[in-house]
Chain A
């Protein structure tokens, strides 16, 4: 409206100035005639009307444009709110396309070992592939390439370490079916390189608890808000050699669920408490019906009991674990494999620096796969070293291992250097 008034004022001023100009001219001889003057005024009036019309049209357009901007802004706002709400409510997980519901992750570690023999090994390259079918049902898998190269006659292998479907029954109970990591010890379920000290995994959770250890079957978990978790799993069993140097060796008994002998299964239960931040206590028990899978005339049943504590307070950390096998039947007793045990204790200290975190650790570990024999078959290790995390997903490791084998001719000092990552 203001614009309209301005234009009217300008037009009036124009007319007034023309009138003044006209009266000034009247004093001169060349004054236009009245008819000519009338024609000029009419022409000017036409121009004023045309201008006023253009002003009106422009104003209508401006109002329309303002309305369009307002509507567009509303739409942008509501779209953004919808997207934000969609993400915040987790609908993206259930409603988005397959790509949005599928997640990739992975980890890997390269090791250098300098002892009696020197070696370099890209020990593990692992890829996680998870897919959420909906909010409560998901698929979890993990594929590992060990020792960098696999194939006939090669040192490495490709392994499917996890592949299961998990169902959330409610907020506290889950069930899973498929191939999964057994709930035993500290490292078996969580072994990304940046989460533990030492280039190589400890020997107890390698030779007594044969980490990484997976089996096929069914598992159930109940947790509560006080920090207790209860796991129970029924799954395929071990099938150890029954003769030779590896007779009744636990680590050699993993079938890795590859066309596995399944006539005799196993049951694993675990209870953990982590209701105090920084502390986890765990107790696992496993019963194997026959680790010879009915290939001997006697039943070789076996029981594993394992307890662990993992404590972190400020920079201080302490991990301790004990595990023991009692193996039935007469055959394992011949070599002393009827009892196998191991333990370790690992204090550590981690602190922040400008360039990332640094941690130091020491570990004393002992294990014995022939503890039932009369002779000394116990191997002990002392490790000391450091981890450096430039960022939390990447770790550089360095440690020295002093060995104390039952057979002292095998003793050596090993320097280990490694780098690991996860994402």
Chain B
């Protein structure tokens, strides 16, 4: 019993130390509602949503990017001039990650993790990771033009985000005149 009492005290002390040393700095961008993401991406006056049907013509390329079909018949997007915004989902380890991606002139200008449900790989939610996607383009081989450095212990979530980045760039090409 004494041991457990000591452990409890040590636990409380170590947590208190961690809090006092680094403080609580919640990241307001971590869980961003999809509506808010779209609104923010178009200076608070978003265009009406449009719909892109996942036709047989698009399927082979989508499959090449994701490694599987996109699990929807149509994908909703928001477009204004050369800018388009997408809300897409992909499985990380076992759960879907919801990501908002804005593409302009064929380049990613914004990528945010909107909903993260995995118990590991929390780092991919943060801007220190997602900012790497900015300026990425789609190569002829349907890969990202930029190297995205991974996160130790979050390889599966990192790969899921890389796939979605490529998918958003590809879909953007399809809806641009």
Residues of A within 8 A of B (CB): 80-81, 84-85, 87-90, 93, 103-105, 128, 130, 132, 138, 140, 166, 170-172, 174, 186, 189-190, 192, 194-195, 220, 222-230, 232, 234, 263-267, 269, 271, 274-280, 287, 289-290, 310, 312-314, 352, 391-393, 422
B15-58 contact mask (Cβ, 8 Å, vs A): 1 or 0: 10011001111110011011000000000000001010000000
Q: Are B7 and A234 in contact (CB under 8 A)?
A: yes
Q: Is B128 in contact with A277, judged by CB distance below 8 angstroms?
A: yes
Which of B104-112, B147-155, B169-177 binds A? B147-155
> Mind listing 25 A-B residue pairs with CB under 8 Å?
A81-B49, A81-B76, A88-B34, A89-B115, A90-B115, A105-B93, A132-B117, A166-B119, A172-B26, A174-B119, A220-B11, A224-B22, A225-B27, A226-B128, A228-B22, A232-B15, A267-B11, A277-B148, A280-B151, A280-B152, A287-B7, A289-B3, A310-B152, A312-B150, A314-B149
Instruction: Output the least CB separation between A353 and chain B (Å).
Output: 11
Do residues B30 and A103 form an inter-chain contact, with CB atoms below 8 A? no
Contact across chains for B94 and A130 when beta carbons are under 8 A apart: yes
Instruction: Report chain B residues within 8 Å CB of A103.
Output: 94-95
A415 to B47, CA, bound (A): 61
Q: Pick the residue among B11, B23, B34, B127 that contacts A234 (CB under 8 A).
A: B11
CA A224 – CA B31 in complex, angstroms?
A: 13
Is B135 part of the binding interface, using a Cβ–Cβ cutoff of 8 Å? no
Return B48 CB to nearest CB of chain A, in Å.
11
**A224 CB to nearest chain B CB (Å):** 5
- In angstroms, Cα B5 to Cα A32, docked, is 123
Assuming the contacts A103-B94, A222-B19, asked whether A264 and B3 have C-beta atoms less than 8 A apart, the reply is yes
Instruction: Provide the bound-state CA to CA distance between A81 and B75, in Å.
Output: 10
A214 to chain B, nearest CB (A): 14
Question: Does more than half of chain B's interface fall in helix, strand or loop, or is it mixed?
Answer: mixed
A226 contacts which of B10, B25, B115, B151 (Cβ < 8 Å)? B25
With A103-B95, A220-B15 in contact, do A225 and B147 touch (Cβ < 8 Å)? no
The tally of residues in B whose CB lies under 8 Å from a CB in A reads: 56
Closest Cβ of chain A to B32, distance in Å, is 11
Minimal beta-carbon separation of B23 from chain A (angstroms): 8
Q: Decide if B27 touches A269 in the complex (CB within 8 Å).
A: no
Whether the pair B27, A224 counts as a contact (CB closer than 8 A) is yes
B155 touching A195 by the CB < 8 A rule? Answer: yes
Chain B residues within 8 Å of A227, by CB: 123, 126, 128
A88 touches B18 (CB 8 A): no
B128 touches A275 (CB 8 A): yes
B121 to chain A, nearest CB (A): 9
Q: How far is the CA of A391 from the CA of B65 in the complex (A)?
A: 12
Min distance, Cβ B102 to any Cβ of chain A, angstroms: 15
* Cα of A330 to Cα of B120 in the assembled complex, Å: 40
**CB–CB B25/A88 < 8 A:** no
Given that A277-B149, A313-B149 are contacting pairs, would A225 and B25 also be in contact in the complex, using a CB cutoff of 8 Å? yes
Assembled-state Cα–Cα distance A267/B9 (Å): 11
* A130–B95 CB distance below 8 A: yes
Measured CA separation A230–B24 after assembly (Å): 12
Sort A-B residue pairs by CB-CB distance and give the 8 closest, nearest first: A278-B149, A225-B27, A280-B152, A310-B152, A105-B94, A277-B149, A103-B94, A289-B3
